[in-house]
Structures are given as C-alpha cells and as structure tokens.
Amino acid sequence: MTPLSYLKAPLWVLGLAGTDKSPRKNPILGNERLNTWGMHKKRVQIAAAMADRRRARLASTLDPEQRAFFDENGYFLVRNFLPEDVFRKLKEETFNQPLPCREMRQGQAVTRMTLLPPSVLGSNPALARATRDPRALNMIRYASSRGGQPVSFVQTVLVEPQKINKKDPQSDAHADTFHATSKAWLFLQDVGEDDGPFFFVPGSHKLTKERLEWEYQCSLTAARDLRSHHASGSYRIKVEELEALGLPQPVKMAVPENTLVVADTFAFHGRTPSEKPTVRSEIHWHMRRNPFLPWTGFDVKSLPFIKERELPVFMKLADFAEQNFNRKNVWRPVGEVMVRSDPQV
C-alpha cells in the first residue's frame, strides 16, 4: 500500500456500513485483529437480523406456499413461468436478431451480457414483459430482502472446455457476499445435468451458529488468500465442508425451459463444471442493496430516469474509467451479435 492509498481511508470506514465485502480492497475489512475481535461476524449477524425484519414486511407480496419454500430452502423455483405464447415470443426476440452484447471470460467460461435498456425493451415486448414480471420482481426483492428495482439482462454462459483448460471460478461453491442478496434466472432452453447447470445448497441461506463460525474463520485469513474471489469477500467452500455446517450436498438446477429460479446468493451456490461445450441462455436479474438499512423502500434505482438504465450507465462509466484511469473493464463490448453465437473474448 502506498501512502497515497490512505486518502481512501474515509471510504474504507464508510464501506463498513454498506455493501463493501472485499478484505483485500478494504484493509479495515481485511484487518486480522479487528476480525479476531469479531468485526466480520458482527456485520454478518446484524445484516441477517435486519434482513429477517425487512423480509417480514415484504412477505405479503408472495404466495404463502412459495414463501414457505423459500424460507426453508433459500430459493424459489417456478416451472412454466410465462404463458406459452409469451415464452415463444421471448425466445424469438432473444435469439432471432443481433443485439448489443458484452463478454467476460473467466477461465473456460465466457459470460455474454445483452443489455436491455428502455430502447431495447420498447421494441421487444416479450423481453419487456419477462423482465418486468411483477411475480419475478417480488421474489427477487424478497430474496434480497429489499424493495426496489433489480438490474436485468440476457445472460448467456458459453463454456469451452475443449479450447481452454482453465477453471471457471464460478464452479467453486461460494457465497456472493456476507448478506442476503439475490440473483434470478429464467431459463430459455432446457438445462440438463450435463449442461453446466446452476447448483445450490438448500438451506445454506440461514445464518446458523456453524455458518457464523465458518464466516469468522474465513475472515481471519481471507485478505491473503490466493483465490482472488475468496480474497474479494465471495468466500469459497469445499463441498466436503458442507456436512460439518449441517448442510446437504448441492442440488443441480437441471430444469426445463421457462423455469424461473430466484436465489438468495448469501447461500452457497455455483456453476456445475461441464466437460462438453455448453451454451446456456437466461433472462437474468441481480439485486444487492445496503444490508444495514431498516427500510424496504426509498430505492434510488427505481427513479424513472435511472430505472432500467443502471447497467448501461454503469458500463459506460466503466469504459470511461478504462480509457482515462487505466482501470480495466472486464466486460468487453463485442458489438451487435446473435445471443448464442461463438464468443469473441
């Protein structure tokens, strides 16, 4: 660390009261002594208690049976989510025209992101209907324990094990961060057991005393861990460790097309490695908010001029930072391409 980095100290302190999760980037979070005294543990405990309270307020937006399933397992799963004619149209709009895309490579996996700003949604009614579906949005909000507007895009995961022999870091079971947060997938094709399905450890969204102790142990060493995602606060767990935490083995989400899965990704999850080339497309949503705020509303990202523009604006800012401050944007623009074409990065 250079003396100049200490200019960021006020941001590190503020980060403690927000979503900051990286012990490597924020030296306060990575401080072994503070973590020995229980700093990380306390953040995890407070965040979980606040999430429970906010969820209680969001509960009435959900079907009681679906909510009970989520509360027990940490995810929602709805088959035949969209009416058949809407789903057919959704696939046509997604697959039968070139759309502006970006790509990011992680080992043998390339993630292609097709942005869906209001201009694209305006001319593609089925995409608009799917991404704005109120049932999906309510489940995503409940899973992240906050009201507001998630980001959405078409995600296509292209895995090329025959070309690149380098591990996909998403294939390790992991928690995305230290608090409730959500991701959702509306699968646009059947996903078989061998098609690199999403996997999830049921019940691992719960903050048990075993999980808290595991979080504590991770916090003591994470900042110097060689696995960069782990050191960045997305803690990795070996499947052999799950039993000691009272958890079952991961379940592969091998599901038919038109299935919606919404998960709290504080729970352990990941992408099943595949030995054959696979292409998996989905409507994908993310939602993460400050876990320490008591309210479920007041969402800046739901304001009319920000709603559905957050991701495109963020990408432009990341491009600007790359051009002017030498900070690489991992999401490389690849122009207008067919969503299931071969990757370019």
Ligand X SMILES: O=C(O)CCC(=O)C(=O)O
- d(C-alpha 322, C-alpha 306), whole Å: 23
User: Does the footprint of ligand X cover residue 153 (CB under 6 A)?
Assistant: no
- d(C-alpha 71, C-alpha 64), whole Å: 10
Helical ranges in 26-184 per DSSP H: 32-36, 39-58, 64-73, 84-95, 118-122, 125-131, 134-144
Applying CB under 6 A, which part among 23-31, 36-44, 89-97, 266-274 lies near ligand X? 266-274
3-state secondary structure of 156: strand
Say if residues 173 and 250 touch (Cβ distance below 8 Å).
yes
From 12, 76, 87, 198, residue interacting with ligand X (rule: CB under 6 A): 198
User: Does the footprint of ligand X cover residue 108 (CB under 6 A)?
Assistant: no
Q: Which is nearer to ligand X, 149 or 170 (CB)?
A: 170
Q: Which amino acid is at 71?
A: D
User: Does the footprint of ligand X cover residue 270 (CB under 6 A)?
Assistant: yes
Q: Which is nearer to ligand X, 265 or 329 (CB)?
A: 265
From 20, 160, 176, 264, residue interacting with ligand X (rule: CB under 6 A): 176
User: Does the footprint of ligand X cover residue 67 (CB under 6 A)?
Assistant: no
Tell me, by CB under 6 A, how many residues bind ligand X. Answer: 9
Taking residues 132 to 151 in sequence order and writing x for each that binds ligand X by CB under 6 A, - otherwise, the string is --------------------
User: Does the footprint of ligand X cover residue 268 (CB under 6 A)?
Assistant: no
Task: Give 312's contacts (C-beta < 8 A, 6+ positions apart).
Answer: 115, 117
Helices 134-144 and 64-73, interaxial angle, to 10°?
Answer: 40
311: which 2 tokens?
Answer: 């991701």
User: Does the footprint of ligand X cover residue 331 (CB under 6 A)?
Assistant: no
Q: Which is nearer to ligand X, 142 or 198 (CB)?
A: 198
Partners of 269 in beta bridges: 174, 200
Q: In what order do the strands lie in the sheet with 198-200?
A: 251-252, 198-200, 269-271
User: Does the footprint of ligand X cover residue 103 (CB under 6 A)?
Assistant: no
User: Does the footprint of ligand X cover residue 266 (CB under 6 A)?
Assistant: no
* Phi, psi dihedral angles at 269 (to 5 degrees): -160, 175
Applying CB under 6 A, which part among 117-125, 264-272, 288-296, 305-313 lies near ligand X? 264-272
Contact set with ligand X (CB under 6 A):
157, 170, 176, 183, 198, 265, 269-271
